[in-house]
Amino acid sequence: MSDEQPQSALREWRAHFSHPVTWVITGGIGLILALAGPFGTDRLLSLPGRMAYWLVLVVATYAAGVLVSAAVRRRLAGMPTVAAVLIEALAIGTAICGVVLGQNALVFGWVPDASEMPEFLGTLFSIALIVTGGLHVAARHRSGPPVEAIRPPETPAPPPILERLPLDKRGALLALSVEDHYVRVQTTRGEELILMRLSDAIREVGDTPGARVHRSHWAAFGQVKAARREGDRAILTMTNGTEVPVSRTNVTRIREAGLLPR
């Protein structure tokens, strides 16, 4: 068995016992059994003794069943359902048998001999049936309504303007700047001149956070390394060292973006 299998079983076991419903169900079953005093426990133990006996037995058998079930379930993957259920039931029953034998030996000093074994197994089956019922009730409360399978988050589509660049220059957008009839597109992997208008280039930046900070420049806010005032204007220093001017009318915009102190 790999290290991951026992760790996974322990995680599932802890998940069961970290949920309040588990304790409510097992505690309720233990209390009912203590008051009913089945299998002669009403004659052998006082009410406080029966409460302790049955609460411990129910919690211990439940815990053993959950742990063994989680440990063997992975190994049974791919087997026919009936065979898998029978093998898992046998493993759980063996674990519960050990718990009951140990507690009875400790509390009553009693271990069944061959003639008493049928009655013991009948008692064990009854206890296992009660605990299994509690397990299913708790599982329904824990799981709640079915939910759709969790899908991995979708990778955001790259800005359309990057499709105009050579493959080796398609990085995160830094800035767009007008040069005659061209737009210089700067990315974290280089820059390229593209024949187009700045307004059209800005429409192709997609969801990249940024703004037109000058009539000739657009800047990606996430790639600003530093910002400083120069009179009534400002200068943005991008992560590649390029400086982008900010016009007076756009200083408020970069201040609102948190790039300049208010």
What integer best gives the mean pLDDT of the chain?
80
Name the band, by pLDDT with cuts 50, 70 and 90, for residue 139.
Answer: very low
Residue 140 scores a pLDDT above 60: no
Handedness of CA 95, 98, 103, 106 (dihedral sign): negative
Q: Which residues pair with 245 in a beta bridge?
A: 235
CB of 130 closer than 8 Å to CB of 138: no
CB of 187 closer than 8 Å to CB of 199: no
Name the band, by pLDDT with cuts 50, 70 and 90, for residue 260.
Answer: confident
Work out whether strand 243-246 and strand 233-238 pair parallel, antiparallel, or are unpaired. antiparallel
Average pLDDT over residues 28-39: 85
How distant is the alpha carbon of residue 224 from its chain centre? 34
Q: pTM to 2 decimals?
A: 0.44
What pLDDT score does 71 carry? 75
Average pLDDT over residues 224-252: 93
Share of the chain above pLDDT 90, in %: 34
CATH architecture for residues 160-256: Beta Barrel (2.40)
Name the band, by pLDDT with cuts 50, 70 and 90, for residue 80.
Answer: confident
List, for residues 49-69, the tens digit of each pLDDT value: 888 988 888 888 888 877 777
3-class DSSP string for the chain = CCCHHHHHHHHHHHHHHCCHHHHHHHHHHHHHHHHHCCCCHHHHCCHHHHHHHHHHHHHHHHHHHHHHHHHHHHHHCCCCHHHHHHHHHHHHHHHHHHHHHHHHHHHHCCCCCHHHHHHHHHHHHHHHHHHHHHHHHHHHHHHCCCCCCCCCCCCCCCCHHHHHCCHHHCCCEEEEEEECCEEEEEECCEEEEEECCHHHHHHCCCCCCEEEEECCEEEEHHHEEEEEEECCEEEEEECCCCEEEECHHHHHHHHHCCCCCC
Average pLDDT over residues 33-56: 86
The residue to which tokens 């969801």 are assigned: 207
What pLDDT score does 116 carry? 75
What pLDDT score does 61 carry? 80
Comparing 158 with 65, which gets the higher pLDDT? 158
What pLDDT score does 136 carry? 44
The full set of domain ranges for the chain reads 4-143, 160-256
3-class DSSP string for 241-257 = CCEEEECHHHHHHHHHC
Largest CA distance in the chain: 103
Which tokens go with 163? Answer: 């499709």
Name the band, by pLDDT with cuts 50, 70 and 90, for residue 149.
Answer: very low
